[in-house]
Each structure stands twice: as structure tokens, then as C-alpha cells.
């Protein structure tokens, strides 16, 4: 497969992933807005912070290293899918071990919520852990689908799973509210069960079919999906297993950085369950754009960079055509996330109070809610840039460099936990976001230095993507001043008419910013049209 074909497939995957994430976040958005009217913020805090942290820790530590290593390994020419499948099945016993350990920690080492206020905590912990182990059953199938760019499979599977989860949650919240945590545990079990079922049904029908033969799919029957030894080769590829171990050490640290504030809340009890619930709602609201735009781009283009670049080799020793495409894509991706992040930061400041008031009423718009969302809007910019820079760095690093970076991640993890505790003690919930900003800035600095050294001896300078045009910066600065003045004059306690005036002012400023983008960022517009918009791409290929 040529570099252009890989880019086309990765772009298609990113486009569908963005659409999928938009749907997910819209459904979750309305689901949270609905449940806020029926359940307490303490219950939301336990579910969205304590139990979700259990689930995310289990699945991340069980599969993330395997995903990165196997997707990198199968991008080369010399690999055996038999050995890759065998290695991937190790996620299941590893997940069972993590589940047993985490259940003990969550039940006996952490503060247990008051059973009168939040009943059924113990069974909920077990059910959330079980849902994580259940999801790992589909891990070999997920990696196969990602490696072969089965983009529609992921869209359909996760769409059906999310619809089922939302439906069960809504029905049970309305008619069986007294079941408490059982509602959310059952919904999560159904979600992971639907994922596994969809992947299993697809591959059972696909393997051995005429379509699979035409595509040259490496597996031929359902038996090939199960672990077994092939004649004349080891059970697993030990070089791939060693790379997995390197990524595992890194993923452990990355999980602390990603979910650090939840770990601090959970283990150090710096916020009450009610305050945790408010913080988590604001956090999810602020990260919606980051999750449904930036995360799918990061996941999809990590696969692109891993397939196009040769891990651990310098620029001069690789195909120059591949390096040129990778550099151009990296520059355009950096410019894309920078522009989107700047827009969110500028308009997030003036519209945080209005957004929270519309979403959750005075429960969210009073107190620290608007301040949290304003700070988070600025954090989104750092989150966006870091996602793209790290997806390139992780795809290009040698195993030795990955091991070395683990020490950097260890230092960042320890400093993050310390900063989170100290800044939260000083500034309340906002301290979590400040700690995230500081650590994200250090991670970006490390990745930017690596990219600079990587392309230093070549003619390509992809870091130019971090330099917006002067006209765009001027448009953003004017918009920041105008919308801030508009909020002070028109929003948000003077009725709906003045709120609409405030919204209109923001819409006019946003239009001006988009015009500046169209006039000055022509390469970015061309990249979006030809690579990230499927309909346009089909027309021009």
C-alpha cells in the first residue's frame, strides 16, 4: 500500500471517527442534561468520577500498550498475524488481574459513599470492573479492524452500543430511580456487551467470504481468531512483546497524566462527591470538542505515521517521498488543531457562563462552574497541540527512545500529582486545570524539540504549522475584546432577548474569524477539503 493510499485511509478513518464522536458527545450531552433533573450531583460524582475511573484504568492499562505496539508492528513487512493475535489475547488475563486488584482497592482502601445517599456501591464496583473485562474480549478484533481500516465497523458498533446504553439509562432513571448505581452499572455492561457482539458478528460473517479473499485478508476462519501456536515459529513475536512492555511502562504513566485529577479526587478526598460531580460535568462539557475532533484525529493519524515512517530510523535513511508526505500532513494537522484550539479559547471565555446556565441551570452556572469552564477552554488549546505532536513522536520513536521517554513521563506524573494537590488546596477545583496546563505545556515542549531534531537535517519544517497568520491573530484578539464586553453588557441575568444579542455578537465575531482563516490559511483549507471531507475527496480522486 502506497503512502498516498495510507493517507487516504487514515483520513477516511479520522473523518468517520469525528462524525462518530460528534454523535457520542451529543447523545451524552443530552443524557447528562436529562439525568441532572432526576439524580443528585453526589450520585453523578460517584458514577462519573469514582466508577468511571475504575473502568478507564482497567481497560487502559490492559490494552493501550498492546494496541500501540501491535499497530506499529503490523505496519512493517516482516510480521506474523498469528503471533500478533496470540499477543493480543494476553489482554484478557491481564485485564482479569487488574480487575481483581482494582476491586479490592475500590472496596476496601477508598472512602465508601454513604449507603443512605448512594446505595449499591459494592455491586456497582464489581459490575463496572466486569464490563471492562468484557470489552477486552473484542481487543484482537479491534486491532484487526484498525490495521485494515474497517472504518464503518467501528462507527456501527460504537453507535449501536451508545444508543443501547442511553436508552437503558433513560428508561431506568425515569421508572426505577431507586435502583441508584445499578442503573449506570447495567447500562455500562450493555454498552461493552454490544461492542463485543458487533465485532464478533462482523468477523464471523466476514472471514472466509469472497470480500475477504479479494482484500487478501490474512485470516481465513473463526479459528484463526483464537490463540494457538503456528508451526515453525514462537508463540509470540518477542520483539513485539518487548515493545509492548516499553509501551506498558509508558501507558501506566500516561494514564496518571490523563486521569490525574480523578486520581487525586478519589485517593486524596480533596473534593466532596457533589463537588466532584459538578467538576466532572464542567470537564466533560469543556472537553466535548477536544474529544470528538482532536482525539479521533490523533488515533487515526497515529496509524498513518506508524505505517509511513520507519520506527527508530532518521529522515535520511527513509523513503523521501514518505517523509515528505508525513511532514506535510504533520504541518497541516498542527495548523488545524491550533486554529480550532484558539477559537475555543477565545470564545470560551465569554460564553462559559451562558453555556452552563442553559445546560444545567443555577446548579452549574453559580459558584465555580463558569470559572472552571473558562480555564478549561484555554486548556483545550494545549490538549489539541499535544495530541498531534505526541501521535507523531510515538510513531517515530525507537524502542530505546520510548524507554527513555518513560523516565520523562515518570517525572511529569509525579510533578502533576504534587501540583494537583497543592494547586487544588490553593485554588479549589481550578487547581486541577492549572496543573494540567503546566504538565501539558511540558509534554508539548518535549515533543516539539523531538520533531525539530527529527527534521533538522531535512528540508521540511512541519513546526511552521504552529505559526498562525497575523490577520487571524488580529481577528481573534478583536473577537476576544468584543465578546468579553458583550458578556458584561448583555449577559446573563437580563432576560432572553439580551442573551440572544450576546449570542449574535459572538456569531458575527466567529464569522469574521472564519473569513480570516479562509483568506490566509489556504493550505489548511485545501488539506481539509481533500483529506478530511469524504464527499469532496471521492469527487476529486
Cis peptide before 254 (omega within 30 of 0): no
- State how far the Cα of 115 lies from the Cα of 53, in Å rounded to an integer: 20
- State how far the Cα of 128 lies from the Cα of 17, in Å rounded to an integer: 25
- State how far the Cα of 394 lies from the Cα of 68, in Å rounded to an integer: 9
> pLDDT digit string (tens) for 179-235?
889 999 999 999 999 999 999 999 998 888 888 888 778 888 888 888 888 777 778
CA gyration radius, the chain: 24
The Cβ of residue 316 has, within 10 Å, a number of other Cβ atoms equal to: 9
pLDDT at 540: 43
The dihedral sign for the CA sequence 17, 20, 22, 24: negative
The answer, yes or no, to whether residue 413 has pLDDT greater than 50, is: yes
> pLDDT digit string (tens) for 449-508?
988 888 888 788 888 888 888 999 999 999 999 999 998 888 877 778 888 999 999 999
The answer, yes or no, to whether residue 286 has pLDDT greater than 80, is: no
- State how far the Cα of 1 lies from the Cα of 126, in Å rounded to an integer: 45
> pLDDT digit string (tens) for 119-135?
899 999 999 999 999 99
Collapsing DSSP to helix, strand or coil, 182 comes out as helix
Give me the DSSP letters along 195-254. Answer: HHHHHHHHHHHHTTSHHHHHHT-S--SGGGGS--PPTTS-SS-HHHHHHHHHHHHHHHHH
Q: How far apart are the first and last CA of the chain?
A: 16
pLDDT at 78: 56
Q: Are 69 and 298 in contact (CB under 8 A)?
A: no
59-72: b (≥16 Cβ within 10 Å) or e: bbbbbbbbbbbbbb
What contacts 308, CB < 8 A, 6 or more positions away? 3, 6, 7, 322, 325, 326
Q: Are 95 and 59 in contact (CB under 8 A)?
A: yes
| C-alpha dist (Å) from residue 482 to 45, 86, 230, 245, 511 | 36, 59, 67, 52, 13
Q: Are 75 and 150 in contact (CB under 8 A)?
A: no
The answer, yes or no, to whether residue 537 has pLDDT greater than 50, is: no
pLDDT (mean) for 402-406: 80
> pLDDT digit string (tens) for 299-327?
778 878 888 888 777 778 778 888 888 88
Secondary structure element (H or E) that encloses residue 303, with its range? helix 295-308
pLDDT (mean) for 426-436: 84
Taking the model in full, what pTM does it have?
Answer: 0.70
SS3 of the chain: helix, strand, coil, percent, to 5: 85, 0, 15
| C-alpha dist (Å) from residue 529 to 5, 10, 535, 540 | 16, 14, 9, 10
pLDDT at 538: 45
The answer, yes or no, to whether residue 1 has pLDDT greater than 60, is: no
The answer, yes or no, to whether residue 2 has pLDDT greater than 60, is: no
pLDDT at 102: 96
> pLDDT digit string (tens) for 343-388?
999 998 999 888 888 877 777 777 777 888 899 888 989 988 998 8
What contacts 44, CB < 8 A, 6 or more positions away? 32, 35, 36, 277, 280, 281
Amino acid at each position: 500500500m502506497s503512502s498516498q493510499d495510507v493517507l487516504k485511509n487514515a483520513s477516511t478513518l479520522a473523518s468517520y471517527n469525528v462524525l462518530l464522536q460528534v454523535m457520542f458527545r451529543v447523545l451524552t450531552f443530552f443524557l447528562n442534561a436529562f439525568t441532572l433533573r432526576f439524580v443528585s450531583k453526589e450520585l453523578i460524582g460517584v458514577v462519573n468520577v469514582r466508577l468511571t475511573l475504575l473502568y478507564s484504568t482497567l481497560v487502559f492499562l490492559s490494552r493501550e500498550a498492546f494496541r500501540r505496539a501491535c499497530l506499529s508492528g503490523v505496519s512493517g513487512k516482516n510480521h506474523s498475524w498469528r503471533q500478533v493475535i496470540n499477543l493480543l489475547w494476553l489482554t484478557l488475563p491481564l485485564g482479569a488481574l487488574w480487575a481483581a486488584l482494582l476491586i479490592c482497592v475500590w472496596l476496601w482502601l477508598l472512602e465508601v459513599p454513604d449507603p443512605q445517599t448512594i446505595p449499591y456501591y459494592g455491586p456497582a464496583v464489581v459490575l463496572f470492573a466486569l464490563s471492562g473485562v468484557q470489552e477486552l474480549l473484542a481487543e484482537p478484533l479491534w486491532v484487526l479492524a484498525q490495521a485494515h481500516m474497517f472504518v464503518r465497523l467501528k462507527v456501527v458498533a460504537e453507535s449501536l452500543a451508545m444508543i443501547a446504553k442511553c436508552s437503558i439509562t433513560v428508561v431506568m432513571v425515569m421508572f426505577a430511580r431507586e435502583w441508584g448505581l445499578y442503573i449506570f452499572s447495567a447500562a455500562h455492561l450493555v454498552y461493552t456487551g454490544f461492542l463485543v457482539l458487533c465485532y464478533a458478528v462482523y468477523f464471523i460473517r466476514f472471514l472466509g467470504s469472497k470480500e475477504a479473499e479479494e482484500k487478501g485478508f490474512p485470516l481465513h476462519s473463526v479459528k484463526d481468531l483464537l490463540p494457538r501456536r503456528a508451526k515453525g515459529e514462537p508463540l509470540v513475536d518477542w520483539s513485539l512483546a518487548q515493545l509492548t512492555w516499553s509501551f506498558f511502562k509508558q501507558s501506566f504513566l500516561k494514564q496518571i497524566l490523563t486521569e490525574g485529577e480523578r486520581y487525586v479526587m478519589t485517593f486524596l478526598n480533596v473534593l466532596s462527591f457533589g463537588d466532584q460531580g459538578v467538576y466532572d460535568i464542567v470537564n466533560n462539557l469543556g472537553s466535548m470538542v477536544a474529544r470528538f475532533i482532536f482525539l479521533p484525529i490523533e488515533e487515526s493519524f497515529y496509524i498513518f505515521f506508524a505505517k509511513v515512517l520507519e520506527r527508530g530510523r532518521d529522515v535520511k535513511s527513509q523513503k523521501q517521498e514518505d517523509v515528505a508526505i508525513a511532514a506535510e500532513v504533520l504541518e497541516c494537522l498542527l495548523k488545524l488543531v491550533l486554529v480550532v484550539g484558539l477559537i475555543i479559547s477565545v470564545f470560551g471565555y465569554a460564553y462559559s457562563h451562558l453555556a452552563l446556565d442553559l445546560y444545567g441551570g443555577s446548579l452549574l452556572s453559580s459558584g465555580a462552574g463558569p470559572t472552571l469552564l473558562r480555564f478549561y477552554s484555554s486548556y483545550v488549546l494545549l490538549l489539541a497541540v499535544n495530541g498531534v505532536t505526541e501521535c507523531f513522536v510515538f510513531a517515530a520513536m525507537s524502542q530505546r527512545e520510548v524507554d527513555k521517554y518513560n523516565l520523562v513521563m515518570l517525572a511529569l506524573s509525579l510533578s502533576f500529582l504534587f501540583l494537583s494537590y497543592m494547586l487544588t488546596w490553593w485554588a479549589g477545583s481550578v487547581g486541577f486545570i492549572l496543573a494540567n496546563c503546566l504538565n501539558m505545556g511540558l509534554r508539548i515542549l518535549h515533543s516539539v524539540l523531538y520533531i525539530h531534531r527529527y527534521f533538522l537535517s531535512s528540508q521540511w519544517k512541519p513546526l511552521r504549522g504552529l505559526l498562525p497568520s497575523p490577520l487571524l491573530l488580529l481577528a481573534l484578539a478583536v473577537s476576544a475584546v468584543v465578546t468579553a464586553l458583550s458578556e458584561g453588557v448583555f449577559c446573563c441575568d437580563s432576560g432572553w432577548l439580551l442573551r440572544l444579542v450576546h449570542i449574535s455578537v459572538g456569531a458575527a465575531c466567529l464569522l469574521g474569524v472564519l473569513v480570516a482563516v479562509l483568506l490566509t490559511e489556504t493550505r489548511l483549507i485545501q488539506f481539509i477539503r481533500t483529506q478530511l471531507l469524504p464527499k469532496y475527496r471521492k469527487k476529486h480522486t
